[in-house]
Structure 1
Amino acid sequence: MDFDVLIIGAGLVGASLACTLEKVVMDQGLRLALVETHDLSQPRDIPPSFDARASALSWGTCCTYEQLGLWPDLIGQAAAITDVHISDKGSFGGARLRAFDEGVPALGYVVKNNVLGDVLLNRLRGFQKRGAMTIFSPDKVESLSPVTGGMKVQLGNSAVSASLVVLADGGRSGLMDQLGIGFEQRDYHQHGVIANIALDRPHNGMAWERFAGKGPMALLPLTADSQFEHQMGLVWTVPDEEIDHIDSLADDYFLALLQKRFGYRAGRFLAVGKRDRYPLTMRIAKEQVRPGLVILGNAAHAIHPVAGQGYNLSIRDTVALADNISISLERKIPVGDLGRLQEYWQQQLSDQSVTSRFCDGLVNLFSRTDSMSTLARNLGLVTFDYCHPVKSRFTRKAMGL
């Protein structure tokens, strides 16, 4: 094989895996390569600050980036989540998760995706300059073919082979269709509306999970910029029958409807940035491992954003896969060995199942508007808030611990 591991896709998950494998390259001689359709040597387009999308990183994900030496470059541009307020609009139920109660400075942090991407890519470029990794960029994988001992990878102008190919391109390339890997999919008949919101008061590290109408609304703390001092990231779950109407609203009317649905607990909404919409589904790959192949990130599992767990689940998969690769090398077993890859998948199966079922259950529970469901939901929130051992276990699970 030309390489031990070849990663397809230099998005946040693929780049994180490459950074996680850096120690394995330096200590154990792993031969690592990465393929990316975009030219990684060129500066990327930077979105307007108020329009920049962000990701909520759990405490566990932040610890992973700290262990990789990446966190010092992120912390200065990250907004801490010190509290999470969960409530049901117009009802008595509510709960609050506090970092102080768990003995940590934050439950997690919110980092703009372009900032996180640049920090990861800067590490990869340094990695490449030292000759520790081969990067094919810009290049495209035309096809993947199983061969003895691994996979043959046909690129745009050349062909290489690898003992293990990690498909981390988000499932958008068509390679999974080519390989005949299907999905188990559930359509929620909802859309996610994402935008940044300017407020009239500081967020003070508070994240809001507000259940109003037919879907949850989340506000995540963001860092300030030169345009607006107080900003939060909105993730609004909207039923399919409402999405076209909401999407067509002018900004003033959009903010007015958002304020009416959410209420004033977080303050007054003053401005909204660029709005994006996308259909919400739960999609799980029917196969995540084959001989010489691992599916990672959104290509492996895309879950509802209600609890902000999708990316953090992918990072936990990434750390587990890197450990699996390292142990295979120690045992002098090919890193693409199916038995070893099945051990990785079995290790992560419980985490993936629990996380996806948890998010799915929240959607079902908080999308119901009948009086009995609302009463049961609010009694549950009150009980949860006062049952500290249960709340602590829940909080630490959400933190990725």
Structure 2
Amino acid sequence: MVKTVDIAIVGGGMAGASLALLLQKFCPQLSVALLERQPLPLPTAGTAPQLPSFDTRATAVAAGSLQIFSELGLWPRLRDYCAPIERVQVSDRGRGLGAILEADPRKRASFAGMLGAVIENAALGPVLYDALAQTDAQLLAPAQVRAVTMESGGAQLSWRAEEGGSERTLQAGLLVVADGVDSPLCHQLNIGVQRVEYRQRALITTVGLQRDHGGVAYERFTERGPMALLPLPRRDGQHRVALVWTCADEEAEQIASLEAGAFVERLQRAFGWRAGRILRAGKVHSYPLSLSLAEEQWRRGLVLVGNCAHFLHPVAGQGFNLTLRDCHALALTLARGCAAGAPPGELDLLQEYGRERRLDQQLTIGFSDRVPSLFASGSLWARGLRQAGLLGLTLAPPLRAGFVGQAAGFGL
């Protein structure tokens, strides 16, 4: 028996779950199925996620993205698990000049008055799925998608609930692929990928500080790669920040293998004392870095969102924010099409979505790709250019305001 839905989303991570919620809000008349390969035990409605005090990954969410979460009614629950970013201190290690980007103090009560917030993933996931459980969206998990066939009316998916289980079929007017880099479905659909290997790794962990971070995020550029300390909520009386430390492949392996005390000492020496004394660090996770761009993000009956569409360098924390803006725009575009009687997989509708997203993607991807190499270069030309850029941000309020607006997700 073939089951039919208007939209099938393959991939139940933050991108897929957010899109499903946005579709339920803006296109409630469309049936949505979300397929996730891993089992996803749903939390009991209203219960608080159980969070560790350390070793929890986090996501920097721009103010514009917080506004989207507010539209979905999620902010009252997320607020308890995030730390606001009120200022970003940008500096060039070993050089005196830097820049401070801060929210407008006159607008502190609104999302436009904050640069964003850092939300712990251990809380964000359960909040998204708790909200999803209260909608009409169908959650199919675990669901292993075995094959996809594109047809004139959309896509036909063959999937199994478990390895060796019976084959099931799902027909969808629009297929949204929301899985990760090296997506098996994208390979199957012959969607090419442009990739730049940075030959770097991101070391990610939670760090304890001696003093309160005060809502300040630090972006520190060194000749070996950028470093970021992002504010986290206090837990168990500890002042915590999330560390993203970009290193060359060979150096990253050596640093990640250090015992805890030696790691903290190496981190303090590399970052400096702008955030105060570093007391401890949690377990260090290491991830390879690359820029990955799908050569096609839409076809008739098909859209790509999330990491399979674009996977960015984490230097500015814009990957998930760009994805969320994509998902928001897609839901609004499909809502307009639905009101006009257009099927969700219609090519003209998806091309409209693509035109709307082109400029934001180009600016965000270009920035995330070029800034790390500029700040890592030791050449006199590069040093002069980045110092001029920091000086411009310091002395030119309109330039600084435009940069802050784009970083906060309000620039376009």
Taking structure 2 as the reference length, the TM-score comes to 0.92
Could you tell me how far apart the structure 1 residues matched to 2:308 and 2:85 are? 28
Could you tell me how far apart the structure 2 residues matched to 1:322 and 1:25 are? 7
Could you tell me how far apart the structure 2 residues matched to 1:79 and 1:41 are? 26
The answer to whether the aligner puts 1:149 opposite 2:153 as a matched pair is: yes
Shift of 1:47: 6.4
Cα-to-partner distance string for 1:267-313 (whole Å, 9 max, x where unaligned)? 11111001111111000001110111100011100011100111000
Letter paired with 1:289: W
Tell me which of 363, 382, 386 is aligned to 1:354: 363
The answer to whether the aligner puts 1:125 opposite 2:133 as a matched pair is: yes
Aligned to 1:143, what secondary structure does the other structure show? strand
Shift of 1:42: 4.9
The answer to whether the aligner puts 1:215 opposite 2:225 as a matched pair is: yes
Structure 1 runs (4+) greater than 6 angstroms displaced? none
Aligned to 1:321, what secondary structure does the other structure show? helix
| Paired position in structure 1 for 2:186 | 176
Conserved 8 A contact 1:329-1:335: yes
Conserved 8 A contact 1:219-1:233: yes
| Paired position in structure 2 for 1:103 | 107
Structure 1 unaligned residues grouped into runs of 5+:
none
Instruction: Provide closer, same or farther for how the CA distance between residues 133 and 377 of structure 1 changes in structure 2, counting only shifts above 3 A.
Output: closer
The answer to whether the aligner puts 1:307 opposite 2:309 as a matched pair is: no
RMSD: 1.7
Conserved 8 A contact 2:42-2:129: no
Tell me which of 10, 13, 36 is aligned to 1:11: 13
Conserved 8 A contact 1:291-1:336: yes
Aligned to 1:49, what secondary structure does the other structure show? coil
Could you tell me how far apart the structure 2 residues matched to 1:203 and 1:289 are? 42
The answer to whether the aligner puts 1:33 opposite 2:33 as a matched pair is: yes
Structure 2 unaligned residues grouped into runs of 5+:
161-166
Shift of 1:173: 4.8
Conserved 8 A contact 2:9-2:16: yes
Could you tell me how far apart the structure 2 residues matched to 1:373 and 1:25 are? 48
Letter paired with 1:68: L
Count of equivalent residues:
394
Equivalences for 1:222-261 in 2 at 5 Å? Answer: 222-226=232-236, 228-261=237-270
Conserved 8 A contact 2:57-2:205: yes
| Paired position in structure 1 for 2:164 | none
Tell me which of 89, 96, 113 is aligned to 2:121: 113
Taking structure 1 as the reference length, the TM-score comes to 0.94
Could you tell me how far apart the structure 1 residues matched to 2:393 and 2:79 are? 32
Tell me which of 270, 273, 288 is aligned to 2:282: 273
| Paired position in structure 1 for 2:67 | 63
Conserved 8 A contact 1:93-1:377: no
Could you tell me how far apart the structure 2 residues matched to 1:371 and 1:17 are? 45
Conserved 8 A contact 2:51-2:123: no
Conserved 8 A contact 2:27-2:335: no
Could you tell me how far apart the structure 2 residues matched to 1:171 and 1:305 are? 15
Could you tell me how far apart the structure 1 residues matched to 2:207 and 2:354 are? 39
Could you tell me how far apart the structure 1 residues matched to 2:258 and 2:63 are? 36
| Paired position in structure 2 for 1:51 | 55
Instruction: Provide closer, same or farther for how the CA distance between residues 134 and 214 of structure 1 changes in structure 2, counting only shifts above 3 A.
Output: same
Instruction: Provide closer, same or farther for how the CA distance between residues 142 and 46 of structure 1 changes in structure 2, counting only shifts above 3 A.
Output: farther
Aligned to 1:382, what secondary structure does the other structure show? helix
Shift of 1:24: 3.5
Conserved 8 A contact 1:214-1:366: no
Aligned to 1:51, what secondary structure does the other structure show? coil
Equivalences for 1:196-211 in 2 at 5 Å? Answer: 196-211=206-221
Aligned to 2:54, what secondary structure does the other structure show? helix
Aligned to 1:33, what secondary structure does the other structure show? strand
Aligned to 1:334, what secondary structure does the other structure show? coil
Shift of 1:343: 1.3
Aligned to 2:296, what secondary structure does the other structure show? coil
Could you tell me how far apart the structure 2 residues matched to 1:125 and 1:169 are? 20
What is the percent sequence identity of the aligned residues? Answer: 40
Cα-to-partner distance string for 1:222-249 (whole Å, 9 max, x where unaligned)? 01112x5100000011012312211221
Aligned to 2:133, what secondary structure does the other structure show? helix
